[in-house]
Amino acid sequence: MKFGVIIFPGSNCDQDVHDVFAQVAKQPVTFLWHDSQDLEDCDAIVLPGGFAYGDYMRTGAIAAMSPIMGPVKKFAKSGGLVAGICNGFQILCEAGLLPGVLMRNAGLKYICKQVWIRCENPDTPFTSTCSKSEVLKVPIGHMDGNYFCDKPTLEELQREDRVVFRYCTPQGKINVAANPNGSLDNIAGICNRERNVLGMMPHPDRSSEAMLGSADGLKIFQSMVAAMVTK
């Protein structure tokens, strides 16, 4: 079992994700360079947060064309686990691995704070250690986290139970007040139809140990490890 963390120019959470796997989850993990086409036999890939290529053109647009993304697409289509966190979510959407787009926050300001998200679907390789409707305390740090898609796509996501996380109150209520960035349907994370690709804006890597204010995010990494063990 080996996890791979991709480094793009401008990534700033690659070390955080690497440390969660190596120091907290105690699993083999390696860095993968954006200009390489070698996934080094990794069993799961994570695209970390940051500002890939300085967010020029459009967030995630340039990174989606990086050499490493060709092999990542093939890996995902073959059933390999791929998770994108924050900027990684943006890249997965730009690469066509997930539907929709992440737009500028509704308030047009960068937001960095703790939020609460509700697990809507525990039946994925990324949420198996969570329970249905469980509330997790996980921070966000983004300028372009406003998820949007057209009506048919939203209906498809809802019908196929592919909305994995929604922003909520600490008590688990889904309402406008709990939505930090204007995301459609309070969406904080989605998966593909096959459920092996996850994109989420909140940072589980920044909430993987109690000293960080919450260890709830560790459940996402633990779920990925469990998925690899049973694969």
Over the stretch 74-131, which tens digit does the pLDDT of each residue have? Answer: 999 999 999 999 999 999 999 999 999 999 999 999 999 999 999 999 999 999 999 9
Other CB atoms within 10 Å distance of the CB of residue 180: 22
* Closest to 66 (Cα-Cα) out of 41, 80, 42, 45: 45
pLDDT digits 0-9 by tens, 22-73: 999 999 999 999 999 999 999 999 999 999 999 888 899 999 999 999 999 9
For residue 147, list its beta bridge partners. Answer: 102
Dig out the tokens for 74 from the structure. 């093939």
pLDDT at 57: 82
Domain 3-230 has CATH 3.40.47.10: no
Residue 81: the pLDDT is 98
CA 182 to chain centre: 18
Question: Taking the domains of the chain in order of start, what are their residue ranges?
Answer: 3-230
pTM over 0.75, yes/no = yes
Q: Where are the beta strands (DSSP E) in 143-207?
A: 146-148, 163-168, 187-191, 197-200
pLDDT on residue 173: 98
Reported confidence tier of residue 230, pLDDT bands at 50, 70, 90: confident
